[in-house]
Amino acid sequence: MTRPRANPTERGWNGSRSPIPVYYQISRAIRQRIIEGYYEQHGNKIESEERLATEFGVSRVTVRQALQELAADDLIVTQKGRGSFVLDVDRASIGYSLRGDIEDLHGTSNSVVSARIETVGVDHAAPLPPYAARRLGLAEPVGTVIRRVRRLADRPVGLLLNYLPDEPGRLVSAEALRTRGIFGLLTDQGVRITHAHQTLRAQHADADAAETLSIGLGDPVMATERVSTDADGAVIDFARSWYTGDSIAYVIEYAQRD
């Protein structure tokens, strides 16, 4: 998987004077990759110190500190001459199951009060990250990638990525997204999504989210993953989003059934 290059300085992300040590920020970012299963497709091997130092724009000493932090938490083990490897990690979490109407998703893209969505790019026949191709059930990692940023008072508060198989993906354009959400555009073209499964969890910001949202590497974000399917069970859309911790709230009301 190709990751966008990070560029923090030894003072902190984007040169900010963050009170959080840089090595700790980097350890949080690597920890998030471990939790997401990123290294499973690479034989559970962590990138070399040199490669991580280049990616994060820091010294190898700082990277070594980050890896030592992960080793102390029993997340990785370093083998002399071979590198660092991920240990078995229990990714279990406390979960609640909520149900809603699929129609509710049609209006969510552009309905947030005082917020606007900026479409950064819609790329067809584009290379997909391996994890996205797996979620879409594609033999070849090629499809449509839609990248958007949600802004609140001109401040970036959300990064949204959608991955679609190329056939339905070609029905979506950047111009059309100015006035209509992805689900609405697909429905207009006869593609009917009947089911969606969404997961919400707190995470640490990785390099892409941190740079896009102008926050620190490893800062807390609210992350979602959603897999949407049609009546035949075919995956039409795999969506991921990250929101700054101070910009989003989920309000749930409970009522006793009669």
Which 3-state string (H, E, C) describes 12-68? EHHHCCCCCCHHHHHHHHHHHHHHCCHHHHHCCECCCHHHHHHHHCCCHHHHHHHHH
Number of Cβ within 10 Å of residue 12's Cβ equals 17
Q: What is the pLDDT of residue 11?
A: 42
Tokens describing residue 253: 């009301």
183-216 tens-digit pLDDT: 889 999 999 999 999 888 888 888 889 899 998 8
* pLDDT on residue 65: 94
Return all residues near 23 (Cβ < 8 A) that are at least 6 apart.
58, 62, 63, 65, 66, 69
Q: Which residues are within 8 A (CB) of 84 and not within 5 positions of it... i.e. 6 or more apart?
A: 45, 46, 67, 70, 71, 76, 77, 78
User: Under a CB-based contact definition with an 8 Å cutoff, are residues 213 and 159 in contact?
Assistant: yes
Beta bridge partners of 220: 204
Tell me: pLDDT of 33 over 50.
Answer: yes
Q: Check residue 50 and give its pLDDT.
A: 93
pLDDT of residue 12: 47
Q: What are phi and psi of 181, to 5 degrees?
A: -75, 165
Model confidence pLDDT, tens digit, residues 96-126: 445 555 454 555 544 444 568 888 899 999 9
User: CA nearest 248: which of 148, 155, 118?
Assistant: 155
Question: What's the half-sphere exposure (Cβ side, CA atoms, 13 Å) at 204?
Answer: 18
Q: Name the 3-class secondary structure at 185.
A: helix
DSSP string across 63-97: HHHHHHHHHHTTSEEEETTTEEEEPP---------
Q: Which two tokens stand for residue 226?
A: 């959603």
Question: In terms of Cα–Cα distance, which of 152, 142, 130, 128 is closest to 214?
Answer: 152
Amino acid residing at 85 = F
Whether the pLDDT of residue 158 is over 80: the answer is yes
d(CA 185, CA 179): 10
- Whether residue 3 is predicted with pLDDT greater than 50 in this model: the reply is no
Model pLDDT, residue 166: 93
**Strand 155-164, strand 142-152: pairing:** antiparallel
pTM (whole model) above 0.75: no
